[in-house]
Amino acid sequence: MTASSGFLHGFPIRQLKGVGPALAEKLGKLGIHSVEDLLFLLPRQYEDRSHITPFGALIPGMTTLAEGEVKLTDIALGRRRALLVRLRDHSGGLTLRFYHFRQSQKESYKPGLRLRVFGEVRMGPLGPEMIHPEVEHVSSDSGLSDDASASTGLTATLTPIYPLVDGLSQRRLRELMARALPLLDQPDALIDVLPARSTGGWTLADALRHVHAPPLDSDRRRLIAGEHPAQQRLAFEELVAHQLSLFQRRQLQRQLPAPVCRDSTNLSADFLAQLPFQLTDGQSQVLQEIRQDLLRPLPMLRLVQGDVGSGKTVVAALAACPALASGYQVAIMAPTEILAEQHRQRFQSWFEPLGIRVGWLAGKLTGKARQQQLDSIASGECQLLTGTHALFQDSVQFAHLGLVIIDEQHRFGVEQRLALTRKGQSNGMAPHQLIMTATPIPRTLAMSAYGDLDTSVIHGLPPGRQPIQTVVLPASRRDDLIARIAHHVASGQQVYWVCTLIEDSEQIQAQAAEVAAELLREALPDLAIGLVHGQLKAAEKAAIMAEFAAGRLAVLVATTVIEVGVDVPNASLMVIENPERLGLSQLHQLRGRVGRGQAASFCVLLYQAPLSGLGRERLQILRDSQDGFVIAEKDLSLRGPGEVLGTRQTGDVSFRIADLLRDQHLLPAARQLAEHIAKDNPRHDHPLLQRWIAQRDHYASV
């Protein structure tokens, strides 16, 4: 019998009133299966809809409710057609501006009608205005709508804004929360496991009530920044749980020896002899550190950080040599199919001439071919296996796995890494682990995220690299840019055109890329233009990448699927659309796809005007630096509270609530408490693990 973390843990979301199968499925996409999961879905923004600001008191930049009477409607025919609605109240005027509108909408805003609107105020040509505000008709006799649940009704708490998925509205989520929160009043709803002295007096239930329905006098700025004590209480608990799982795993791992890997056959020397270049000092240094680790009967756990293009792949290959030479298998996991495919080709060309059998496994490999591959992994015939996260599925059994290499770690969750490591443990040994990343993580953070881990840095880039010249251009200069592309291709070089959207939907991203490709094909009818995005089948993606790598496509339009690892040296111009939407480290990664060959390389950041001051500053950092570590640091120092936190930049650990950067200061105490709990309570079913880690970690299967 496992210790319970409370009955809401096992309370299926389907049993909450108002949740049918369709809604349950949508919630499932947000990772919400139980009422507990729902309660841990925290708002990422808060709005104040508690009062109405008179027009005369509107200040640009504020987001607020306002209310007034329609005076006139008009269609402005300027650079962009827009519907304008002029409102007045006793104190002044407000203009509503709609770029997307129907004729019927214009007609519905009759003079004399009272509207309540919610939106961000900006200064327009006629005074304050709101662009595409939420609008509600208010019956003119009462003056106030009495429907408190309406989107623009006055609220008694701050209004939470949740992360959304397609087809699930804020209103719906708020309704669900309103039904779930009262359940917290029942005894044993969620068992509070942290000692009160460690939580600043906040119980779990109080903290959850506060974050979902903050009283009006709650500190909104801190809430938005995620720094409110109620949020910190929750983040702290999650960090404690995470540390507890790390702690227990370390104990587990230390019980097992690792295979001693010695390059007795001089495989490394043969490998180096066939390389067309020499290792850089930075590469040799790191390789030396790895070799030392592999010689010891203790599982290596080493993080290798090296900027984009520093040559991590070769280091991975050479790290594999001692393990292969000692008769152990090596698994190399990449975060995307495109990268896994590229690794397969590269490792095959490097290792097959040396008599090493290289295999490949990805989700799309099916049927007989898959079975054959699985058999050869299980028999040990396949010595070096490349692939995606498909490598850690249950059906994959290694004969004697000695080393796991994870490339571009920031894309993997810790659980996936664990699952792969666990495989090697079946024969009483723990495999060595090598993690490669281009995303710099400060050491303290890395320690907390991975436990006790060693780090190496590949300093410097291979010689002969041309610096990438980065240009910041407004989208209005697109035509000039297209002319430049034609010119660039005429000189024998290739081009990436990257469409970025922050939208989580792969489908929307793919559509945007399709549109961009279509426009480019119209503008450049003579050029071979390819398109690759996440919606394509693996084989299609691979085929297009191969065409591009072979130089048969002049331009590759892509989503951020090409963000990591892709290596086509002849591509020397990259255009990134809407760069203001991505994190700086991510942009740096993308940009690293060019500047790999001998030709001068360019990166054009094609932004949508107007750019905020901060936005401008961020793009400038990118223009002025090519050092990923410098860029990451500057980005961190720039991102104040309120700026969207790019979780993908903060490391690989997928926390629900905690943010390793924001909540760094909580780590020492979380670590201490976790060790304390682990000593008193060696069980692997501690309620904290059940609540925060269980489904996502290996304890579920231990």
* DSSP 8-state class, residue 475: G
**What amino acid is encoded at 247 in this protein?**
F
Shortest distance, CB of residue 338 to ligand ADP, whole angstroms? 13
Q: Quick count: other Cβ atoms within 10 Å of Cβ 270?
A: 14
Question: Interface with ligand ADP includes 89 (CB under 6 A)?
Answer: no
Question: Interface with ligand ADP includes 338 (CB under 6 A)?
Answer: no
Residue 267 vs 318, nearer CB to ligand ADP: 318
Residue 336 vs 416, nearer CB to Mg ion: 336
Question: Interface with ligand ADP includes 335 (CB under 6 A)?
Answer: no
**What amino acid is encoded at 226 in this protein?**
G
Task: Identify whether the C-beta of residue 103 lies closer than 8 Å to the C-beta of residue 76.
Answer: no
Question: Interface with ligand ADP includes 310 (CB under 6 A)?
Answer: yes
Task: Identify whether the C-beta of residue 453 lies closer than 8 Å to the C-beta of residue 298.
Answer: no
Residue 303 vs 510, nearer CB to ligand ADP: 303
Task: Identify whether the C-beta of residue 497 lies closer than 8 Å to the C-beta of residue 556.
Answer: yes
> Which member of 565, 592, 651, 687 binds Mg ion (CB under 5 A)?
565
Site for Mg ion in 202-241 (CB under 5 A): none
Residue 226 vs 565, nearer CB to Mg ion: 565
Question: Interface with Mg ion includes 68 (CB under 5 A)?
Answer: no
Shortest distance, CB of residue 438 to Mg ion, whole angstroms? 7
Site for ligand ADP in 244-303 (CB under 6 A): 277-280, 283
Shortest distance, CB of residue 545 to ligand ADP, whole angstroms? 14
Question: Interface with ligand ADP includes 530 (CB under 6 A)?
Answer: no
Residue 405 vs 694, nearer CB to Mg ion: 405
Peptide bond before residue 610 is cis, with ω within 30 degrees of 0: yes
Shortest distance, CB of residue 631 to ligand ADP, whole angstroms? 15
Spatial separation of the C-alpha atoms in residues 199 and 542, rounded to whole Å: 51
Question: Interface with ligand ADP includes 322 (CB under 6 A)?
Answer: no
Size of the site for ligand ADP (CB under 6 A): 19
Residue 409 vs 572, nearer CB to Mg ion: 409
Shortest distance, CB of residue 435 to Mg ion, whole angstroms? 12
Spatial separation of the C-alpha atoms in residues 511 and 536, rounded to whole Å: 12
**What amino acid is encoded at 256 in this protein?**
L
Shortest distance, CB of residue 311 to ligand ADP, whole angstroms? 3
Site string for ligand ADP, 560-589 (x = CB under 6 A): -----x-x-x--------------------
Question: Interface with Mg ion includes 595 (CB under 5 A)?
Answer: no
Which run of H or E residues covers position 585? helix 584-591
Task: Say which entry of Mg ion, ligand ADP, none residue 621 contacts (CB below 5 to 8 A, set by partner kind).
Answer: none
Shortest distance, CB of residue 321 to Mg ion, whole angstroms? 18
Residue 65 vs 603, nearer CB to ligand ADP: 603
Task: Identify whether the C-beta of residue 595 lies closer than 8 Å to the C-beta of residue 467.
Answer: yes
Of 146, 159, 156, 149, the residue nearest 64 (C-alpha) = 159
Shortest distance, CB of residue 572 to ligand ADP, whole angstroms? 13
DSSP string, 278-327: PPPHHHHHHHHHHHHHHTSSS--EEEEEE-TTS-HHHHHHHHHHHHHHTT
Angstrom distances, CA of residue 254 to CA of 258, 299, 429, 610, 678: 9, 8, 10, 55, 15
Question: Interface with ligand ADP includes 314 (CB under 6 A)?
Answer: yes
**What amino acid is encoded at 472 in this protein?**
V
Spatial separation of the C-alpha atoms in residues 102 and 82, rounded to whole Å: 10
Question: With the C-alpha atoms ordered 7, 11, 15, 19, is the resulting torsion angle positive or negative?
Answer: positive
**CB-based closest residue to ligand ADP:** 311
Per residue, the 3-state secondary structure of 78-118, as one string, reads CCCEEEEEEEEECCEEEEEEECCCCHHHHHHCCCCCEEEEE
Site string for Mg ion, 288-327 (x = CB under 5 A): ------------------------x---------------
Residue 462 vs 551, nearer CB to ligand ADP: 462
What residues line the site for ligand ADP (CB under 6 A)? 277-280, 283, 306, 308-314, 438, 462, 565, 567, 569, 596
What residues line the site for Mg ion (CB under 5 A)? 312, 565
